[in-house]
Structure 1
Amino acid sequence: MAFKPRSDNDGAMSEINVTPLVDVMLVLVIILLVTAPLLTQSVHVTLPKTVETTANIDAQPLQLGIDAQGLITLNKQPVANLAALESTLKAEFAKNKEVAVHLYADQAVVYKKVAEVMATVQQAGIAKMAFVTVEE
C-alpha cells in the first residue's frame, strides 16, 4: 500500500502502486519456469529392432538435355530423334523401374520441343522427372 502524507487536500490518490503487480508477475514467471520442464513428457515405448539398410546410390538419374538448337542428349550422348530416345528410355526403365530423369533445357529452346521430350519420357513409362534450373 502506498501512504500519502497528510495534507490539507484529502482527495483520492491517483498514483498506481506497481510493486504488487511486479511481485505477482515474478511469481508467475517462477511458476512457469518450474512447471515447463514437467510438461514436456515423451512417450516411453520400446521400438522394434530392424536390419540396417543403405540407400540405393547406384541409381543415378538420367541426364536429359536440350540445347538452344534443339539437339537432344541423354547422359551427354546425342540422340538422333524422339523415337530413339523413347526406345533408350524404355530400355533403362526395364532395367530399373525407379529410374528418374533430370531435364536440362536451354532457356532459348522452343516450348514445343520441351513438351515433346516430356511426352516421350512419359510414353517410355518413366514417372519421375525433374527440371534442373540455375539460381539467379
Structure 2
Amino acid sequence: PYNFFYFGIIIDKNKLYGKGFKIKESFYKYTCSLVFENAKPYLRDAVIIIDGSGSKSFRMQLQQYLKKKMNQGDDRLIRKIKLQDSGKNNLLQLADIVAGSIARSFTSKTDSKLYRKVIKHREIYVQVWPK
C-alpha cells in the first residue's frame, strides 16, 4: 500500500580510518549525512522519521546536525525530524527491511540478490562508500 522509493549506503568499515569513525555516534551522524546528501534533490519541507534508539542527548544532536547540514540558505529541505520506536511505526519497519535487503545483496549467500531484486524498482540510488 505504500508508494515509496529509497536511497541507501553500503559502507566498507575495513577501509575507514580516523578517530571519528571509531565513535559510534559520529559514525552514525556522518552516515546519515551521506544518505541525506544523496536525497537532497527530493527533499522539500520534509518530515523525517528516524528510529529513536540512542540516548536523548544523541538524538537531539542528530536532529540539530541534520537540520543544520540540510537547511542552508533559503532551502528548507527538512521541516521536522521525529524520532520514533521502529516497533510502532510501519514505515520504519519498511526501512529496516529495505536496509536488510541492501546489506544482504552484498553478501555471498545464495539468496543474496533475491530480496533486493524484489524492491529494485523502488531504488533511486545506493552508494558504496568509500570507493
TM-score calculated relative to the size of structure 1: 0.33
More helix by share: 2
More strand by share: 2
Q: Which has the higher contact order (CA 8 A, sep 6+)?
A: 2
TM-score calculated relative to the size of structure 2: 0.34
Structure having the higher Rg: 1
